[in-house]
Amino acid sequence: MYENIRVERAEGIVTIVLNRPETRNSMTPAMGEELSRVVAELQRDSAVRVVILRGEGKAFSSGGNLGMLARDTGLVTGGEGPTMAGAPREFYERFLSITRVHVPTIAALNGHAIGAGACLALACDLRIASRAAKIGFTFTRLGIHPGMGATYFLPRLVGTARACDLLFTGRIVDAEEALRLGLVDRVAPAEQFDTEVMAWAKEIASAGPIAVRLTKRAIYRGVRHSLEEMLDFESLQQSWTFTTEDAREGLQAMLEKREPRFQGR
């Protein structure tokens, strides 16, 4: 069904695998198109509770395949510069469709995440890195302006000064420094990485799915709105969740001292 990605499903957890290991999962327009199609399918699937994004083989993603991008979008490397100002934007949006997933997304950095590949990880809600992983926003080392949302996601995640350092220098950081900087939320030993990724996903998936989806929406809405606006929004959404079967099940389970069995209703 897909040539550049693979999709795996298990108990409400969907894993999207960037599947071009021979190029360290470099990002091409075709891969982006397939990812956007998967996202559209997930938006119609009420059984999905968590989405994991990872790479096949030893890398998460080495970033944009610059040769492919130049050829497929009509960009040129000499003369007066790019001939199609909108071409990179279309490329970005295919991959950043991951931000439209309505359930929590986890970027599982099984290996290096470089350039646009690192930005793709930032576009997810959460990030966990293998201790062997490295992360770098290397655009300026190539003499090009950062793309794929780098200047949007990075300052919001780590602060302006740290974003300046990482983007100005293009330096590559290891997993432990990435954790200290706030680039990733967890680090796991390579030999336990898959187990810890799935355990985290299952922990999230075990919570009330309606409440989690609405909470995700509220968190990102809160970045753009005032406290007063968010209190109104929270009041409306919380009142609605009180009417769901999941809320009744959650409260009943607490009274009975057992784990809740949420059905997403």
User: Residue ranges per domain, the chain?
Assistant: 5-205, 209-255
Give the Cα separation of 262 and 196 in Å (integer). 23
Edge-first strand order for the sheet with 5-10 is 5-10, 13-18, 50-55, 105-109, 126-130, 186-188
Classify residue 28 by burial, with Cβ atoms within 10 Å: 0-12, 13-18, 19+: buried
The encoded tokens of residue 55 equal 């790479």
> Residue 100 corresponds to which amino acid?
R
pLDDT at 5 over 50: yes
Percentage of the chain with pLDDT > 70? 86
Among 113-117, 236-240, 255-259, the least confident range? 236-240
pLDDT at 16 over 90: yes
The encoded tokens of residue 168 equal 């100005």
SS3 141: helix
pLDDT at 143 over 50: yes
SS3 106: strand
| Cβ pair 103, 216 in contact under 8 A | yes
Whether the CA torsion 86, 88, 92, 94 is positive or negative: it is: positive
> Of 213, 171, 186, 181, which is closest to residue 51 (Cα–Cα)?
213
pLDDT at 83 over 60: no
Give the containing element (helix H, strand E) for 68.
helix 66-73
> Of 142, 15, 5, 8, which is closest to residue 61 (Cα–Cα)?
5
3-state helix, strand, coil in the chain (%, to 5): 50, 15, 30
Whether the CA torsion 45, 39, 197, 237 is positive or negative: it is: negative
For the chain, the average pLDDT equals 88
pLDDT tens track for 72-82:
545 544 444 44
Instruction: Give the per-residue pLDDT at 45.
Output: 94
The encoded tokens of residue 164 equal 């300046």
**For residues 206-224, average pLDDT:** 90
* pLDDT-based confidence at residue 243 (cuts at 50, 70, 90): confident
Instruction: Give the per-residue pLDDT at 64.
Output: 84
Which 8-state DSSP code applies to residue 190?
G
pLDDT at 95 over 70: yes
The encoded tokens of residue 33 equal 């198109």
Winning range, highest mean pLDDT, from 170-179, 215-224, 228-237: 170-179
Residue with tokens 């050829």: 71
Instruction: Give the per-residue pLDDT at 234.
Output: 62
- What would the CATH number be for the domain defined by 209-255? 1.10.12.10
Instruction: Give the per-residue pLDDT at 80.
Output: 45
The encoded tokens of residue 41 equal 């399918």
Residue 34, CA distances (Å) to 19, 39, 88 in order: 11, 9, 17
Give the Cα separation of 56 and 17 in Å (integer). 6
Instruction: Give the per-residue pLDDT at 217.
Output: 93
* pLDDT-based confidence at residue 252 (cuts at 50, 70, 90): confident
pLDDT tens track for 23-50:
999 999 999 999 999 999 999 999 999 9
- Domain 5-205, CATH class in plain words: alpha beta
Instruction: Give the per-residue pLDDT at 257.
Output: 77
**For residues 246-263, average pLDDT:** 76
Instruction: Give the per-residue pLDDT at 74.
Output: 52
